[in-house]
Amino acid sequence: MRLPKTGTIEVAPSILSADFARLADEINEVASAGVNIIHLDVMDGHFVPNITIGPPVIAKLRKVSNLVFDTHLMISEPAKYAEAFVGAGADHITFHIEVVDEPENLIEKLHELGVTVGICLNPKTPVERIEKVARLCDMVLVMTVEPGFGGQDFIPEAAKKIRRVREIVGPETRVEVDGGIDTQSTPIVVSYGADTIVAGSAIFSKPDRVAAVNAIRESFEF
Ligand code: DX5
Ligand code: ZN
């Protein structure tokens, strides 16, 4: 599965707020809304103060879903675990610039392993940190909450970085946004140039996930 080409706005549900005892059903439910991407949040209890899933869970999910596995590594040593995540079935791997000294090397390694690559910025990390390497990536992820937990409030100042990121990468690279995204914040981030919209609690805390995905889509169809 490949990340969709640019030119569309994709809603990427994040499983962080899903029922982890029923992950396959949860993913298939949002798939029935026609989403192409599922966002998998990986946390190591070190880079962020929370722990979620790793390669064994992703490998099992791979058997039940054909969605693009957008794997958001909130871990301190992404290079060490890159191959394990690719082997498990990740299609796209995003790592945080805050923990990688030589991002060019990791981007190259991930491309050689056959996945598309994302680079991510925390709310307090300036865009300059990714300026040189952003164009080597297939997607840039702008965090609009401090990573670690679902259901936090959207940080409007962090979202403003999307405009600068879009200027840097141009139209051929996806710009993803993650954190506090709902029907209120989606039109704002889309107007700044985001085209890949991660939403966790705005989808999985609702009883009807298909309706929740559609509500997000309708919020940016000006
Ligand atoms: C936060 C994760 C997000 C999270 C978003 O650290 O990276 O993907 O699931 O959750 P919401 O959409 O509830 O802010
Ligand atoms: Zn995420």
Q: Could you please report the per-residue DSSP string of 82-102?
A: HHHHHHHT-SEEEEEGGG-S-
Q: Rounded CA gap, 30 and 199, in Å?
A: 11
Pocket test for ligand 1, best of 15, 98, 143, 145 (most atoms within 8 A of CB): 145
Among all ligands shown, which has an atom nearest to the Cα of 17? 1
Asked if the model's pLDDT at residue 121 lies above 70, the reply is yes
Q: How confident is the model at residue 222 (pLDDT cuts 50, 70, 90)?
A: low
> Could you give the maximum distance between any two Cα atoms of the chain, in Å?
43
Residue 188 three-state SS = helix
| Residue 137 main-chain phi, psi, to 5 deg | -100, 165
Distance between Cα 180 and ligand 1 center (Å): 7
Closest-CA residue to 119 (of 135, 189, 8, 1): 135
Q: Is the CB of 145 under 6 A from ligand 1?
A: yes
Asked if the model's pLDDT at residue 178 lies above 70, the reply is yes
Average pLDDT over residues 190-211: 98
Average pLDDT over residues 167-188: 98
Q: In the numeric block, which tokens belong to residue 200?
A: 């966790």
Nearest-atom number in ligand 1 for the CA of 143 is 7
Average pLDDT over residues 164-178: 98
Q: How confident is the model at residue 221 (pLDDT cuts 50, 70, 90)?
A: confident
Active site residues: 41, 178
Among all ligands shown, which has an atom nearest to the Cα of 197? 1
Average pLDDT over residues 171-182: 98
Sign of CA dihedral 219, 205, 3, 191: positive
Instruction: Give tens-digit pLDDT for 129-162.
Output: 999 999 999 999 999 999 999 999 999 999 999 9
Q: How confident is the model at residue 208 (pLDDT cuts 50, 70, 90)?
A: very high
Q: Rounded CA gap, 133 and 1, in Å?
A: 24
Q: Is the CB of 180 under 6 A from ligand 1?
A: yes
Among all ligands shown, which has an atom nearest to the Cα of 181? 1
Q: Are the C-beta atoms of residues 85 and 55 closer than 8 Å to each other?
A: yes
- Which superfamily does 10-219 belong to? Aldolase class I (3.20.20.70)
Q: In the β-sheet with 174-178, what is the strand arrangement from edge to edge?
A: 10-13, 196-199, 174-178, 139-143, 116-121, 92-96, 68-74, 37-43
Cβ neighbours around 136 below 10 Å, total: 16
Q: Is the CB of 41 under 6 A from ligand 1?
A: yes
Distance between Cα 218 and ligand 2 center (Å): 22
In the prediction, which pLDDT does 66 show? 98
Q: How confident is the model at residue 214 (pLDDT cuts 50, 70, 90)?
A: very high
Instruction: Give tens-digit pLDDT for 39-90.
Output: 999 999 999 999 999 999 999 999 999 999 999 999 999 999 999 999 999 9
